Amino acid sequence: MRNKNGWTMLLIGVLLLALLAGCGGKTASSANEGEGTDNSKAPSSGEPVKLTMWGGVPPEAGPQEVIDAWNAEHPDIQVEYVRYVNDDDGNLKLDTAMITGQDVDLFVNYTLSQTSKRVESNLALDLSSQFDDYDIDEKMGPDAESWKINGKYYGMPTTKSAFFVALNKDALDAASLPVPKDWTWDELREYAKKLKVGNNYGFIQNMEPFVDPIDSVLSQEGYTKADGTSNLDHPLVRKWLETLNVMMKEDKTTPPLGEQLTSKMPVEQVFLSGEVPMLNIGAWMLRSSNNFTDFPRDFTIAFAQVPRLSDSADSYVTRGGIGDYISINAKSKKQAEAWEFLKWYADGGMAPMAAGGRLPASKDANQEEALNSLLGDKKDTYDLDSLMHVMFEDKTPTYVRSLPQEVMDMRAQEYEKYFLDAQSLDQTLEAMVNRHNTFLKEGK
């Protein structure tokens, strides 16, 4: 895991450099930076208003088709899409671009943690303070509530989010294993043993949802205990660490974390090649599984809910709900035009994004059109019953990841030491708790 402790200082340094450069004389564009923004359109010059939207999805996986459709219909407002990779470096690139006044009018947030940091830095516009012609709660339903920060929307959630375990159904059938709908990590471990062939693994994980089992528990139980101290030593946190460690070291059914991180294992490719039969991932996988040119496969893909750590399903929540939270840059001079685009996007303009697993959340979007885009001509290569279950029918309550990024980074640094045999399980839990308590005492 990268050392991110210096990132805040880096951002501050970038901002100071920008301010110092401004002291030597402002250009026409930089002269506008830092001035109060308003909701009015830019002065008319006969030229179209140009908007820049930053997002983490590759242009060819839906965004460019969306942008092209808008631009064809709206010659007076033209949008350019800029792709940033949704990882630590990519998010730093986006934040730096906004802080230094580069062209960013709209941007997509993928976690509440990242959004909160941008709100604190005054980079995301409070939509309710500027616009009152679109009811996000009514359009998106009750799941939208989880994206509010201090009771306000600083963006619009636009997609149905689904996280799941993708399964090679042919491998399951050969092992006489049913497609599970409701299962535990203990049961997944047994599946991985039965599906392991030779030296291959039975289960792999995309690193983005890797830690979700912990947050599934603590989003309900609390990240802190009743006395205000850290709850990162919760028994089910211990269980998750123990289970994965045994799968890595004893069962050898999933890659050791060190191997996966250092090799930058292309988990989607490994799964779609048929090498490993189970993959923990999100709906973005479908843009690869629908791409037979780069990822040819000869097996049917089925889907299962991400397993729970607890024995009882009564209190289980899974990550999901709605996501792709699109904000308007609080410094943008084209907020009114950005808002018009955002409403159009949410209410159906984003339909081509479904090809990459991003179904529109708005009740006014054409879901049938989006579903057709999702499956394309590859419909027969999926187990439709399980796909419909995880995407539409599963009524398990959901949560949005909201833990501060600093705690997520700290937590990862400690559990990586455990998986790398650099410290014991007890030492790992103690270190996570101590560092979390320090964070809490500092009031960050």
Q: How many other CB atoms are there within 10 angstroms of residue 368's CB atom?
A: 8
Q: Write down the H helix ranges in 232-390.
A: 235-246, 257-263, 267-272, 286-289, 335-344, 367-375, 384-388
Amino acid 74: pLDDT = 97
Q: How many other CB atoms are there within 10 angstroms of residue 363's CB atom?
A: 11
Of 159, 158, 160, nearest to 341 by C-alpha is 158
Amino acid 16: pLDDT = 44
**Per-block average pLDDT, block size 10, for the chain (444 residues)?**
45 45 36 35 70 95 95 98 94 96 96 92 93 93 90 94 94 97 95 96 96 94 95 97 98 96 95 98 90 95 96 87 94 97 95 84 82 84 93 84 88 96 98 97 78
> Taking the alpha carbons of 224, 230, 236, 240 in that order, is the dihedral positive or negative?
positive
Q: Write down the H helix ranges in 53-211.
A: 63-73, 88-99, 112-120, 136-140, 169-174, 185-195
pLDDT in tens, 323-358: 899 999 999 999 999 999 999 999 989 988 887 778
- H or E segment and range at residue 303: strand 301-305
Which tokens go with 113? 């943690």
Q: Tell me the whole-structure pTM to 2 decimals.
A: 0.75
Amino acid 33: pLDDT = 30
Amino acid 45: pLDDT = 58
Which tokens go with 128? 């309710």
Phi, psi of 280 (to 5 degrees): -85, 120
**Contact, 164 vs 392, CB < 8 A?**
no
pLDDT in tens, 297-308: 999 999 999 999
Amino acid 44: pLDDT = 52
**Contact, 369 vs 137, CB < 8 A?**
no
Amino acid 239: pLDDT = 97
